[in-house]
Each structure stands twice: as structure tokens, then as C-alpha cells.
Structure 1
């Protein structure tokens, strides 16, 4: 007796459940939402950065009229550092000093707004950002008027014998740093306020209940909890302050030129595009390295 084998028809694949299809569409939604930002970064950051790096490697013997050839001239970086290391160091120094002053002033102001302002909190925040309602150039020119040799500030300091009879503030490092502090102070205050305002005031009161002095309570409670704002504020202040050139141009002298003034002059007046591009790349890489080191040392996981 022979048995006949019967073949079963292959079962059709089960259709994807609606929940799976919905989850797949939801996963793709995030990528679609990222697309406009990615395109913006590609057009306005990646492409210009590539162009800047390429410019820094042009033949230094070229000119604006005759054009520049791509010769991969890495020697432009050595030339830039050798000729312009002083303005670069000066810019880092001015930016660091201005950031430190902004941190002290901004922390006090942000603490007062968060814990002491009460119903005046919103008004004080508006006053902090009020300078942004006018042009950066106008604000800097106003400092030039205040610090001029026959201005009220110099006359008052001379009357108090802080400055000599022939002393001056304009065209000095003091004027440049003062302009940087004034123009970038809101960038420090706002992140600090956002961080300090989230601190539960009961934690500070608990430190006092445990017989902690106000200074110790601040160092053990308030300061650690406000570190994300400190890091954000210092970065938002230091980075643009180092690359600024308006304050040094209007409030300083050739002896206070910052790296931004040098780069502007090389691009617009001297026409030395390769060295100007090399300086720009050096400045960006140097700031990037300092920022990464600073954030790592600060240990604020919220910013990583």
C-alpha cells in the first residue's frame, strides 16, 4: 500500500499589526523633524566651514585680482601663528577677564532676581535684556561717549584722584574689557537665572537648620546646584567675547587689537585670504578645545 504525500499550500505571511506600522511611522517622524535643522546646518555651517578651511590652504602668493590656487599650503597656519600670536593671546585674555567679571556681576544679579525680587522679577528680567533692543554698535558707541577724556566718568575719577590729571580710560584695555562686560553680561545673567530659579529654597533653609553658615551653605548647596547655569553662561559669554572686534575697534587703540580685528583687516583691507582663513580656523579649533576641556572638567552631565 503506497501512501500519497499531500502538500500543504504555504500559509500567507500575516499582515503587520496596526500598532507596528504606527510605531514605524512615529520613529520616522523624528527624522523628518530633524531634517530642516540638518539642512540649515549643512547650508550655513558645513559648507561655509569647508570653504573657510579651503581658503586657509590657498597659495599665499595669490591675490584678490589674480585669484588663489589650491596648493594645500599648510604653512599658512605657521605664518598666522608666528605673525599674529600676540592678538590671539590678547583676545583670550580679554575674553577670560570679561567672562570672570560677568560671572561675578551676573551671579549676584541672577541670585537677587531669583530669590529676592518677588513680584518685580519679570520687570528686572526685562531690564536685563533691554540693551538688546538697541544695536550692538550703538551700545558700544555710547560707552565711547561715556569714557571719553572730557567725559563725566574720567572727570569723576580724576576728582577722586583715582586717575591722574592726564589719565584716560578710552583707548586702554580697561575700556575694551568694560565694553565686553557690558555687551555680553545678559548672556551670563539669563542662563544663571534659569539655573538658580530652579533651586528649591527649602534646601538652603535646611542647610541653615543644620547650623551651616551662609557662606558654607552657598558653597555646599547653591553653587553646586547652579553649576549648569555657570557653565552655560561662561560659554555663551567667553566664545563671542574672544571673537569680538567692535569693542576693540571703537574703545581701544592699535595696541589693544584683538584677533577679530586682525582677521577683518586681512580679509577686507590686506586681501590676505589664506592667512585670514588660517587664523579663523586656529581660533575656532582653539576655542573648541578649550570648551571641551572646560565642560569635561566642570562635570556637568546636563550639558554633555
Structure 2
């Protein structure tokens, strides 16, 4: 067996194995992928999970005339006995109060109603707007997108205040309608539900248009051309081809609008008047007027549950849609 002698392993100029750089490269790639995945999780942990845990803890506390205005406080040097006393002092009293008081139920239903109605209006306005932008020439599309984004260059609060000057009885809108002879007396739009809906529609319209435009601009024009060749009108081609393919963008835009509108405070406060009941106003009142931080934290947890629900439903619908598409694709291959 002397003829089968083992060949020496090749080495580099410095005596190191050439396999080492490849192994180091794979290790660096794994570290890079782990870093890319870990940073968003770290961001969520620091700026969502930790604040939510603090809010959840305060929601089980009791109001107190102290600083901070709630009890109990966790004493880190109390040992196991201190932890036991801390958890025993927590209760569900704030959630029981929310369940028993019709104010919070009415505020939640009102917030959901305003957000749902405004989202429906945004779908009706944003869909044709995004479609027109997607069908415009390539030279005009960047200009149209810029015009949609321009309102973000101005403070949100200033834009809402501008609507006060437009909607008040002696404002620009009523003055124009009176001059045209369309109305005999100023319309009570400000400090009414109509003012809230107008403000919500104006403020969140870009969040509906941009996701829809992003999806519609990537659709193949040959699809609508094929529908037209088969005898479909432009309207029928839109509702049977373009709109179904744009549903992911429509759903994303609806969520981007619905979720923040449920907790909106500035627009109902400035355009809706004192009679407008929404969770955002109730939350502000409990925090700053009543200084009842535990009850306000419980309202905030309720608000989070209301806005997370649609996200979970959307995610489940997307998973079912993806499974259906994969199943149809596999069936076509067979």
C-alpha cells in the first residue's frame, strides 16, 4: 500500500489553508443575514414591545395622587417578596370600568364608524385617482406623484387649521356657495360629523393613493388590451381585470388609513367640536384632564386591540390568497 501514500494538503504562501477564506466568507454572510433580520426585531422590541409592556402594566394599576400618578410601583430591591406584593396589587378594575361604562363602548363604536366610513370614501376617491396616475404618460407620472406628496411638506396641524377657515360659517366654502346662489344660509359643516369626515378624507388620501398607484403602475397593459379585444368596455375591463389585480394595494391603503383614523385626535377635536366622541379624545381627556393614567392606559390597550384586529384579518386573507394561487399554479402544472 506504499503506492497509495497521502498527498499533502495544499497551503497558501503563509501556510494557511485556502478553505479558511471561504469558510470565513460564509460566516460573514450568515452574520450579515442575522443582523438584517435582527435589527427590525430589535427596533420593534425597543419601540413597541417595551412601551406596550409599560402601558399594559399601568392599565392594571390604580390611580394615586403621587408622581407618577398610579400605584403600585415596582421596587427592584424588594426581592421576591416585593415582586409578590407588586403583582398582588394589580387588578382588572380599569377594564371592568370600561366594560360597565357606555361612554367607552360608544367611543369605540364611533371611532370604528368614522374610520370605516372615511376609508370607504377614500377608496371611492383614491381608486380612480391612482388609476388615472398609472395610465398617464411616463413624463407626467413623477409630477402627479409629487403633487400627491406635496401636502406632507406642510405641518399636519396647520393643514387642519386651514380647513377651519374653509368650513366655518363665514369661511371660504360657505361664501362661495352663497355667492353662487346654491344655498340660502351658511351650512353648519364645522363642528359636525361632516367636518370630521372631510378632514379625515383630506388628511389620509395620499396613504390610499400611493399604494394603489404602486400596484396599478406595475400591471401589464396587455391585460386590459386583451379584454378590450374580447369586446369588454373600458369600465368592464377595469372592474374585471384592473381592480381585482389591484386588491393587494387597495387592502394596504385601506389599512394604512383605517388604523390611524381609529385613534385620531386632532381632526375630531378641531373639526368635530365638543360633541364628537372618539377614542382618541377620550384617551387625551383621561390622561391630561382627569390624570387617570391607569384608565387611560386601559383605553390605549383597547385601542391597540381594535387596530390590530384588521391587520390580523388582512394577514390571514393574504395567506389564504397565496395558498390559493400556489394551489392553482400546481394544478396547472399537473
Q: TM-score range by the shorter chain?
A: 0.7 to 0.9
Pairwise CA distance, 1:297? 3.9
Partner of 2:160: 140
User: TM-score, normalization: structure 2?
Assistant: 0.79
Q: Secondary structure at the match of 1:199?
A: coil
Pairwise CA distance, 1:164? 5.7
User: TM-score, normalization: structure 1?
Assistant: 0.87
Deviates more, 1:290-299 or 1:211-220: 290-299
**Structure with the greater relative contact order (CA < 8 A, sep ≥ 6): 1 or 2?**
1
Q: 2:175 aligns with which of 152, 155, 166?
A: 155
Deviates more, 1:157-166 or 1:251-260: 157-166
Rounded Cα–Cα distance in structure 1 between residues aligned with 2:33 and 2:40: 12
Rounded Cα–Cα distance in structure 2 between residues aligned with 1:279 and 1:211: 55
Pairwise CA distance, 1:36? 3.3
Say whether 1:54 aligns with 2:72: no
CA contact (8 A) 1:63 1:271 kept: no
Cα deviation digits, residues 128-156 of structure 1 (max 9, x gap): 01000000000000001000111121234
Rounded Cα–Cα distance in structure 2 between residues aligned with 1:52 and 1:118: 48
Cα deviation digits, residues 148-174 of structure 1 (max 9, x gap): 111121234456676562631100000
Partner of 1:286: 306
Q: Where in structure 1 are there 5+ consecutive unaligned residues?
A: 1-14
Rounded Cα–Cα distance in structure 1 between residues aligned with 2:196 and 2:235: 33
Partner of 2:291: 271
Say whether 1:241 aligns with 2:261: yes
Distance 1:214 1:24, change over 3 A: same
Rounded Cα–Cα distance in structure 2 between residues aligned with 1:16 and 1:78: 68
CA contact (8 A) 2:122 2:205 kept: yes
Q: Secondary structure at the match of 2:71?
A: coil
CA contact (8 A) 1:228 1:300 kept: no
Say whether 1:28 aligns with 2:48: no
Partner of 2:94: 76
Q: Secondary structure at the match of 1:264?
A: helix
Partner of 1:227: 247
Cα deviation digits, residues 41-86 of structure 1 (max 9, x gap): 22211110100100110024x2345742243221311312423111
Rounded Cα–Cα distance in structure 2 between residues aligned with 1:107 and 1:66: 48
C-alpha RMSD of the superposition = 2.4
Q: Secondary structure at the match of 2:65?
A: coil
Match runs of 1:148-187 below 5 Å: 148-158=168-178, 165=185, 167-187=187-207
Pairwise CA distance, 1:221? 1.0
CA contact (8 A) 1:154 1:168 kept: no
Q: 1:199 aligns with which of 219, 225, 228?
A: 219
Match runs of 1:244-263 below 5 Å: 244-263=264-283
Q: Where in structure 2 are there 5+ consecutive unaligned residues?
A: 1-16, 73-88, 324-334
Distance 1:16 1:280, change over 3 A: farther
Q: 1:125 aligns with which of 145, 163, 167?
A: 145
Q: Secondary structure at the match of 1:254?
A: coil
Cα deviation digits, residues 109-141 of structure 1 (max 9, x gap): 111111025422111111101000000000000
Partner of 1:7: none
Rounded Cα–Cα distance in structure 1 between residues aligned with 2:299 and 2:137: 45
CA contact (8 A) 2:118 2:197 kept: yes
Distance 1:166 1:132, change over 3 A: closer
CA contact (8 A) 2:165 2:172 kept: no
Pairwise CA distance, 1:289? 1.4
